[in-house]
Copies of this chain bind each other. A is one copy, B any other.
Amino acid sequence: MGEFSFIQWIRKRQKRRKDVMLGIGDDCAVIDVSSDTVCLITTDMLVDGTHFDLKKCTVQDAGRKAIACSISDVAAMGCQPTVAVISVCFPDHTPEKFARELYKGIWGIADKYAIEIVGGDIISGRSPFCINVTMLGRDDGLKPIRRSGARAGDAILVTGTLGGSILGKHLSFEPRLKESLVLNKNFTIHAMIDVSDGLTADLNHILEESSVGAVLYEDRIPVSHAAVELSKKTGHKPLYHALSDGEDYELLMTLSRNQAKRLLSFGLLKNVKVSCIGEIVKEHGIRMKSSGGNIRHIKPRGYEHLKS
């Protein structure tokens, strides 16, 4: 079983409500709550040993990451997060200090973005430490940006640099919320997602939802220093890590060439690098164009739970 094929199985069988504008299959679901307001909702579960390792990081780091991932999901829709509920499973006999440290990590980032923790559930079990965050967001008159709006001819842009997040960024990343709101207010973004599974995997989510394909420009992929560092240990090329590693939590988007030109010269995002890494095409799949002009097919590769 693969995570994504199982989600497709669920999605096909799920009965729909009229007030649900967007259900399973995007960074957030979108619910129509009144004539002029929508409510966004996203949920993320993180477990010790998979999403972080408490032997190598603090529980504050883990709490911060759980909140930051959910903020990034709301940012991926171009909307504003508001409140969250948090469930925690503590291993039996967890000391109180550990639990309080967790909340310090949570509040450190939640307060910064004015997100109120409005409820939760605290349980214990014969289980590794596990945390689930559900976050709500609101549109504030903006249109939530879906994965499904990419069109042939669009430019593909990504913020920041990619790869090797396991060396630190997967814990310390700043969700691109401010940038996301600036983008949604000032540009017509056709499709957007945050890079959590990996660049090609997340691009593939956009392509599948939009029924289009993509050509990537090999020499334009913004390879991070961490990807270079990691490549020395793994033997893979830095580009491999930039294309395949997850948890950079950068914004990957598509928009018209004209909008893209305007964005690339736009002042408000000057503190964050934005790269044009490719274009949307009609032909399905992902192809890579080298600097020499050679084109080859590549398979989306990234982290997938449940994959045997």
List residues of chain A with CB under 8 Å of any chain B CB.
1, 3, 6-7, 9-10, 13-17, 19-20, 22-24, 26, 28-29, 31, 33-37, 39, 41-51, 82-83, 85-90, 93-96, 99-100, 103, 107, 111, 114, 116-128, 130, 132, 134, 136, 138, 305-306, 308
Contacts and interface: CB of A to CB of B under 8 A. Distances in A.
Q: How many copies does the complex hold?
A: 2
Given A99-B6, A116-B14, A306-B94, A87 B132 contact: yes
A33 B39 contact: yes
Contact of A127 (B10, B103, B130): B130
B96 A1 contact: yes
A111 B36 CA distance: 27
Contact of A6 (B24, B45, B83, B122): B122
A75 B238 CA distance: 53
Nearest to A118: B29
A90 B122 CA distance: 19
Contact of A29 (B9, B14, B43, B83): B83
Contacts of A51: 123
